[in-house]
């Protein structure tokens, strides 16, 4: 029996899609918590906006990609990656919250609208993939399954996430350039 046959015996597409959806929902829920539930003072919002603006000043495709891919790769760590994904979601939500607090025109914009952009969809899919795989890997380790049963699928999913984030970085850079 080949390695691929062993892995395909343990793969159910419907189950994987459900876990992907759960990972996406987890990221959206944590993002929403940061965007809606965290109360910022005027000073905290202003400081957050200034720090974020300074950190992305002059950022191009490569910077966007490296930032997003480092976060996403961390999300593939068994169990801890899901926590990292949630933290990234909350942090991103807080940044949107701060901008909405400082810029009155954003106050009426739904924080979830960022996920309606092409780069938002790509990033959300990549992060959901990482968060869900983190849970799957933790389960596989607890069940003491041989690593050969999930190695190829995990590497394929990492490659998919990297490809999505690479495409998303070009789209996001173009979006930022056109917004200025």
CA distances to 106, 114, 129, 141 from 110, in Å: 8, 8, 24, 39
- Note the pLDDT tens digit of each residue in 103-156: 988 888 999 999 999 999 999 999 999 999 999 999 999 988 888 878 899 999
Residue 15 has pLDDT above 70, yes or no: yes
Q: Grade residue 27 by pLDDT with cuts at 50, 70 and 90.
A: very high
Q: What separation in angstroms does the CA of 59 have from each of 12, 24, 52, 94, 179?
A: 40, 26, 11, 20, 14
The CA distance from 7 to 107, in Å, is 48
Determine the pLDDT at residue 70. Answer: 96
**Domain spans, the chain:** 12-179
pLDDT confidence tier of residue 4, bands split at 50, 70 and 90 = very low
Mean of pLDDT values over 39-65 = 90
Instruction: Give CA–CA dist 115/164, Å, rounded.
Output: 14
Give the DSSP letter of residue 117: S
Q: Which of 8-17, 48-57, 137-146 has the lowest mean pLDDT?
A: 8-17
Neighbouring C-beta atoms of residue 175, cutoff 10 Å: 14
Residue 6 has pLDDT above 80, yes or no: no
8 Å CB contact between 134 and 85: yes
Q: What is the pTM of this model?
A: 0.89
Summarised one tens digit per residue, pLDDT across range 59-98 is: 888 888 999 999 999 999 999 999 999 999 999 999 999 9
Instruction: Give pLDDT, residue 180.
Output: 61
CA distance linking residue 162 with residue 65, whole number of Å: 9
Residue 47 CB partners (closer than 8 Å, separation 6+): none
Q: Which of 139, 13, 43, 37 is nearest to 89 (CA)?
A: 37
pLDDT band, residue 5 (cuts 50/70/90):
very low
Question: 104 or 163: whose pLDDT is higher?
Answer: 163
Cβ–Cβ under 8 Å, residues 37 and 96: no
């Amino acid at each position: 029996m080949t390695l691929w046959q062993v892995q395909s015996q343990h793969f159910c597409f419907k189950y994987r899609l459900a876990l992907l959806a759960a990972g996406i929902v987890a990221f959206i829920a944590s993002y929403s918590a940061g965007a809606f539930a965290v109360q910022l003072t005027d000073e905290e919002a202003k400081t957050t906006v200034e720090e974020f603006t300074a950190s992305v000043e002059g950022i191009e495709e490569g910077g966007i990609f490296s930032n997003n891919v480092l976060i996403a790769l961390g999300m593939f760590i068994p169990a801890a990656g899901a926590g990292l994904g949630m933290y990234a979601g909350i942090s991103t939500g807080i940044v949107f919250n701060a901008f909405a607090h400082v810029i009155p025109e954003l106050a009426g914009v739904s924080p979830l609208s960022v996920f309606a952009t092409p780069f938002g969809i790509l990033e959300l899919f990549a992060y959901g993939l990482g968060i869900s795989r983190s849970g799957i890997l933790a389960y596989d380790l607890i069940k003491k399954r041989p690593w050969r049963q999930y190695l190829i699928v995990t590497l394929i999913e990492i490659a998919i996430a990297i490809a999505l984030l690479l495409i998303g970085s070009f789209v996001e850079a173009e979006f930022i350039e056109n917004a200025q």
